Amino acid sequence: MEDQFYDTDEPIVALATAWSESALAVIRTSGKGSVELFAKVFTNPKSILSSTGFTMHYGYITDQSRGKKIDQVTAAVYRSPKSYTGQDGVEIFCHGSLPGIESIITILKKAGFREAAPGEFTMRAFLNGKMDLSQAEAVAEIVGSKSKQAHSLALNRLSGGVLEKIDLIKKKLVDLMGLIEVQLDYPDDEIGGDTDIPLDSLLDAEKEIINLINTYRVGKIFHEGVAVALAGGTNAGKSSLFNLFLKEDRSIVSDINGTTRDYIESWITLEGIPIRLFDTAGLRDAEHPIEVEGIRRSEEIIKNASLVLYIIDGSTGMTAEDKEIFSKYKNDPDYLFIWNKIDKLSAGVPDGVIPVSAVTSEGFSDLENIINSRLTGMEISGSELMIDSLRQKGLLERAARSLRSVKLSLENSISLDAVAMDLKETLDALGEITGEVTSEDILNNIFSGFCVGK
């Protein structure tokens, strides 16, 4: 990232909405003198210069050098510190014409703005104390949400859920640090009252950190989604089930074996979980080179999937290959076995297999619940506090390791100096999560992944 990223006073400009044709677009500005610079290109500069924060103004963006109107806009003026970034700024609501947007940004750059770096608005919000680092990360997570549930979980983090939890843990540890420092600074005979180190508080803090670490896997699933593959022999009903998940006829359904010669994929949402669903080619000994290649690709998809739904044709029962795969993977948590076509059932459903009809939808709701439970292992309401940041997970693990050292040192009567050092390491790791302790490299890594305009 260029050094200018850290010049937090310079007036910056960027398109905040998608670069595509639309009814409206939003161009945002921020920085010292940004209101005054915008007034230079607005047809009613006096209303802008005299305005207080949270006011809207109607007029035109103009090219002063040519005396030409560029677009009809409304402009929202924000005054420091009551703005997203904590600085003066103007948000411009213009028509969503790509040439018009480009012209407005060009005019603003000529007036003295520079183009914002990715994530620079949110970084300024962090640096100006408008949010902590965990909330800043949640901004990107909300923008990238693939489901309502993922959006809700990210909004919980943006609302300060992580900060509140970390602060509660830190308070317990700071109290412990105070007791240790008292014992280091004063001889035992100069201290009155109870000077024992309360291990219960230490264990509670460790437990809360570990609980937060354990939410990462599920949090990541909701944010990034998972790959789920429909597998099985030919004509087992994979394509019919694929269409049932999608609620549309996307995959060709036929009684002819080998109809699906390559995999088909689509995104769906199941109980808030974004799922990249694959309908794979039927597994069999094929001769046609195209089908052979399709089966090879399908096997790669199945190998890399987070969950495999293996479909068995319940109207005919298990083939020799079905039996082999069932025996091998029946206890594998990454496999679910589905007994399809129960509307044509001629034999009993084996134990460990889920009965479903892709034609009548019988058993499908139960299948969805089982998939959700297998992927997350818990009921999710959307109000839970979860992390999906690998950076935060790493820092929590570092904090947990240091706390374990503290506990072992206290249990083995190791020097309190060593205990204090490990406890400080824990507090530093927790401080990095919220940005209380940070570096330019960390900020670069976080904000460079944001979209421009955020």
Reported as a single tens digit per residue, the pLDDT across 238-287 is 888 999 998 876 554 444 444 444 578 889 998 889 999 998 876 555 54
Looking at residue 335, its pLDDT comes to: 94
- Per-residue pLDDT, averaged over 98-110, amounts to 96
Q: How confident is the model at residue 376 (pLDDT cuts 50, 70, 90)?
A: confident
Helix axes 390-411, 216-224, angle to 10 degrees: 180
Tell me the CATH number of domain 227-376, given options 3.40.50.1010, 3.40.50.300, 3.30.2270.10, 3.20.20.140.
3.40.50.300
Please indicate whether residue 201 or residue 287 has the higher confidence score (pLDDT).
Answer: 201
Give the residue-averaged pLDDT of 382-386. Answer: 74
b/e code 365-391 from CB counts within 10 Å (16+ = b): eebeeebbebbbeeebeeebebbbbeb
Higher pLDDT, 296 or 121: 121
Percent of the chain with pLDDT over 70: 86
Spatial CA neighbour of 104 closest among 9, 24, 48, 31: 24
Split at pLDDT 50, 70, 90, the class of 3 is very low
The residue-averaged pLDDT of 47-73 equals 93
Checking if the pLDDT of 6 tops 90, the result is no
148-215+387-435 maps to CATH 1.20.120.430: yes
Query: What ranges in 190-333 are assigned the alpha helix state H?
Result: 199-214, 216-224, 238-246, 289-304, 320-329
The residues, any chain, with a CB within 8 Å of residue 399's CB and separated by 6 or more, are 209, 425, 426, 429, 430
- 54 pLDDT above the threshold of 80: yes
Alpha-carbon gap, residue 191 to 183, rounded angstroms: 8
* CATH number of the 3-131 domain: 3.30.1360.120
* 347: confidence class by pLDDT, cuts 50, 70, 90: low
Q: Which amino acid is at 219?
A: G
Backbone angles phi, psi at 401, to 5 degrees: -60, -45
For the stretch 387-426, pLDDT in tens is 888 999 999 999 999 999 988 888 887 788 888 899 999 9
Q: What is the pLDDT of residue 254?
A: 44
Q: Which two tokens stand for residue 187?
A: 């001889």
Q: What value does the mean pLDDT take over residues 336-344?
A: 91
Asked if 237 and 358 touch (Cβ cutoff 8 Å), the reply is: yes
Write b or e for each residue in 66-104: b if 16 or more Cβ atoms lie within 10 A of its Cβ, otherwise e: eeeebbebebbbbebeebbbbbbbbbbbbebeeebbebb
Q: Calculate what percentage of the chain has a pLDDT beyond 90.
A: 47
Average pLDDT, the chain: 85
Q: What is the DSSP letter of 188?
A: G
pLDDT band at 223 (very low <50, low <70, confident <90, very high): confident
CB 261 within 8 A of CB 281: yes
The rounded distance, in Å, linking the Cα atoms of 409 and 416 is: 8
For the question of whether the overall pTM of this predicted structure is more than 0.75, the answer is yes
- Tell me the two tokens of residue 442: 């960390």
Return the DSSP state at 117.
P
Question: Which residues, 6 or more positions from 427, have their beta carbon under 8 angstroms from its beta carbon?
Answer: 170, 173, 174, 177
Q: Does 81 sit behind a cis peptide bond, omega within 30 degrees of 0 on the bond before it? A: yes
**pLDDT tens digits along 12-43:** 999 999 999 999 999 999 999 999 999 999 99
Compute the average pLDDT of residues 317-331: 90
Given this model, what pLDDT does residue 289 score? 54
Q: Could you tell me the residue ranges of all domains in the chain?
A: 3-131, 148-215+387-435, 227-376
Residue 320 has pLDDT above 60, yes or no: yes
